[in-house]
Structure formats: structure tokens, C-alpha cells
Structure 1
Amino acid sequence: MVHVFRLLLICKKCWFVLILLTAFLKNESAAQIQDTVVIQKKFIPSTSVGFKAGYNLSQISFSPPINQDFTRSITAGLILNHFAQPYAGIQVELNYLQAGWTLSENGDSRRFNYLEVPVFTHIQIGKKNGAFLLNLGPYISFLISKRDSLLLPETANTNQTKLIPNRLQYGLAFGLGYLQKTAVGNFQFEARFAYGLGNVLTPATSPNQAITACIGYLLERKRKK
């Protein structure tokens, strides 16, 4: 009988501890949910506008290949990005750039001038005043002019005198960089690789490849709630 009484007493204590533990866990869960709601409420959508400038290295991937060096040029453009979520947004640009090829044997080159419009998924991960950034998405380019340093002769692989530049280019681009926020504005540093999905010249197989390093300056405006 004594053992039964002790067993009942232990069960009552266990139930009491279980009830207290359940109440504690419920309070903790409610507090976490409340903190999450507060954190979500603190996010304010923002829009940034600015400009960029950088250095561009490009080549055309002829098939069959020809011996060529990178074509070096300056690039510049305008930037608009918008964040509707804490870490992911959209970035649209309007850039001026050059593409083309430079023959390795004599340095002669042909260049094409484009207006490029990339539309990126823009991701930022980091602290309050600094973040790593990722840009990924398609682009489309419009030929505005061409500049020849010579009338290129035929080579063993490509009859270049008969190639016609296409006025429309498109492809995919991928960029990595860093964003630094300051009292006077945001500075964006980025290295980007772009690969053309169309041909620069007709009828040759001639997609363009480019590596770009650039710095941008943006002013941020946050929406008032």
C-alpha cells in the first residue's frame, strides 16, 4: 500500500513537471513567433538608382577557331534595382559596351558597339552596411555602330570579309560582387561573366564571351510605411 502511494505521488510530480514544461515551451514558441513577426515588420522595401563604369574583355568564339586576343574596352551604364524581399530583388541596367575580336598575329581588330539591357535576379547576403551580392539572368544587346581598324582578309578558317554583323544579341550573365553602404551612398563592386547564345556574325558560328569588372554608385530610397 505504501508503494502504491509513493507511485501515485511520483506520477503526480511528473504530471506537474510535464505541465510546467509544456507551458514553458508554449511561451517560448509564442515569443519566437512574435520576434519573427517583429523582424519581418522591420523590413522596408527599397529602390536604388545609380551608374557604373568598368573594364571589359571580350572574345568571339569562332567555329572553327581563330587565334585571337581579348578585345579590351571601357564600359559604362545606368543601374536600377528594387528589393521587395529582405534578400532578393531585381536589377535592370542600360549599358554601353564593345565586343569583337583582335587577331593575335598582327593585332588588327574589329569592334562592335552595343547598348545592352540585362535583367537580373539580384541577391544580397550580409550585414547592415555590407553585403555580398549575386546577379544572374538574361541580357539583350542592340548594335548601334561598328568600327573596323582594317578590312579583314580571309584566313584559313574564316572568310571574314563576307560576315555580316547581327543587330540583335542575347545571352546569359553571372556576376559576383560586394555592396558597401555609406552615408553618401552605396558602392557596388562586381566581376561578371557573360556568354552569348546567338551569333555576332552571319553566317558563322560566333557567340560572344566577355569578362567585366566594374564599380557602381547608387542612391537608395526606402518606401515609407
Structure 2
Amino acid sequence: MKKYKNFGLLVLALFFALPAAAQLGEERHNFAVGINGGLNMSTVSFNPKIKLNTLNTMSAGVTMRYMSEKYFKMMCGVQMEINYSQRGWDEKIEDESGNSYSRTMNYLEIPFMAHLAFGKDALNRGVKVFFNAGPQIGFFLGDNEKINWTTSTTRPEHGKEVENKFDYGITAGAGLEVSTGIGHFLLEGRYYMGLSDFYKNSKRDYFERSAHSFIGIRLSYLIDITK
């Protein structure tokens, strides 16, 4: 678990160092807000390991972005979102029992990311390539289990309630932005790696690790409030 946290801190330090280096650039004061929505291809890192399929879930929320600097061809800013996000897992059953189990977990998630863009200035129309990365926190709202289990014994995770309702990790993504006269349209691929466990992980507990991860596809629409 420690190596995951160290890796996450290193990624964040490197990424946030880039906007800091741009403070000698040309100032921008461009604030935009909008909506986002998309698909999460979710799984969970369990230890002891459980064989899983990807669980397709949804995400939707509000996006706020502030662009503060332009340094040569790189535009720097920050982006925050408040999302309703579903995660979870679907267990891979490799026998012929007909058993199945999946759990969808609902979170209020808040990523706070550095935003770097290359291409046409945000004040003009055109296409840009962008990168996002930063920390993310989440608050567990509830879950839904789908179980069809015909054998007499179930697994330790079946019916087990979430014990840690605060989630945190790092998220990073890249995509394309098309700026038009009616707003900004963004298509992004994003990855989230959880650094926390939703089950207790002491020596007397069954699971040493139970952390979320997902690959997301996001479509966002932003309109400028200030330029």
C-alpha cells in the first residue's frame, strides 16, 4: 500500500510543478463552468485477490475551470468538479454453477486538478489538446448488490458493508477541446487510482486492500463566465 501512495505523491508533485513554472507567462483570467457526463469502466484492487470483470457505471456532474497563465504555447489553469459517480466490481465466475455477483457503489467525488492545454488560446475558436491531473476525494453514498448464488457458502465480500466511507486517490486524463462561439466541448479519457480502502485493513481483518480504480470517458460542455 505504501508504494501506491508514494507513486501518487510523486505524480502529483511533478504535475503541479509545471503550472508553477509558468508564473512568468502571460496572465489569463478565464473562468468557465459547465456540465460533464460519461462512463466509468470500474474495478477494485483486492488483496486477497478476486478475479473480476469490468463493471460499466455512470458519472455526471458540474465542472469549474480557471485558466490563469499562458507560457509560450502552454496554457495553465486549475479544474474542479463535483460529480455523482458510480463504481464497483463484477466477479468473474469460472465454473458452471450459474452464480453471479456484482456491486455498484455510489460516490460524491471531488477532483481538483491542474489543467494544461496546448493549441489555440482559450479566448479563440479552435482545437486544443489538454492534460489533467490531481488529487480526488470521494464520499460514499450507498450501494446496490446483485447476487445470484446457488451454492451454500458465499464469499467474505458478499453482504459486507462499506467500513470506510471516505475515499481518496489520484486522477489523471488527457483529451481534446473544441472551442466555439457557443462554448467549449471537451472529450477526455481519465484514469483514477484509489489510495484508500473501503474495508478495514488491519492484521485481524480479511482484506489487506480494497481500493477503487476506473478508466473513465468524459464529455463536458463549458461556457465562459469571464475572459
- Give the TM-score of the pair, scaled to structure 2: 0.74
**Is 1:164–1:202's contact at 8 Å kept on the other side of the alignment?**
no
State the Cα deviation string for residues 157-211 of structure 1 (Å, max 9, x = none).
xx21474312110000010011110111100110000000001222421111100
Match of 1:174 in 2: 172
Match of 1:65 in 2: 49
State the Cα deviation string for residues 138-158 of structure 1 (Å, max 9, x = none).
000001111111387533xxx
1:83 equivalent in alignment to 2:63: no
The one of 77, 84, 90 equivalent to 1:96 is 84
1:111 counterpart letter in structure 2: T
The one of 136, 139, 162 equivalent to 2:136 is 139
1:209 equivalent in alignment to 2:213: yes
Structure label with greater radius of gyration: 1
Aligned-partner Cα distance in 2 for 1:142–1:151: 28
Unaligned runs of 5+ in 1: 1-38
Aligned-partner Cα distance in 2 for 1:52–1:183: 19
**What aligned pairs does 1:105-124 form with structure 2 within 5 A after superposition?**
105=93, 106-124=99-117
Secondary structure at the counterpart of residue 69 of structure 2: coil
In structure 2, the CA distance between the partners of 1:154 and 1:107, relative to structure 1 (3 Å rule), is closer
Secondary structure at the counterpart of residue 47 of structure 2: coil
Q: Relative to total residues, which structure has the larger helix share, 1 or 2?
A: 1
The one of 154, 168, 185 equivalent to 1:187 is 185
Runs of 4+ in 1 over 4 A off after TM superposition: none
Match of 2:5 in 1: none
Aligned-partner Cα distance in 2 for 1:164–1:146: 9
Aligned-partner Cα distance in 1 for 2:55–2:200: 20
1:211 counterpart letter in structure 2: I
1:52 offset after TM fit, Å? 0.6
The one of 14, 23, 32 equivalent to 1:48 is 32
- Give the TM-score of the pair, scaled to structure 1: 0.75
User: Aligned pairs, how many?
Assistant: 180
State the Cα deviation string for residues 48-93 of structure 1 (Å, max 9, x = none).
0000110111111111211111111111110000011121101000
Match of 1:22 in 2: none
Secondary structure at the counterpart of residue 207 of structure 1: strand
Secondary structure at the counterpart of residue 84 of structure 2: strand
Unaligned runs of 5+ in 2: 1-24, 94-98, 202-206
RMSD over aligned Cα atoms: 1.9
Aligned-partner Cα distance in 2 for 1:96–1:82: 22
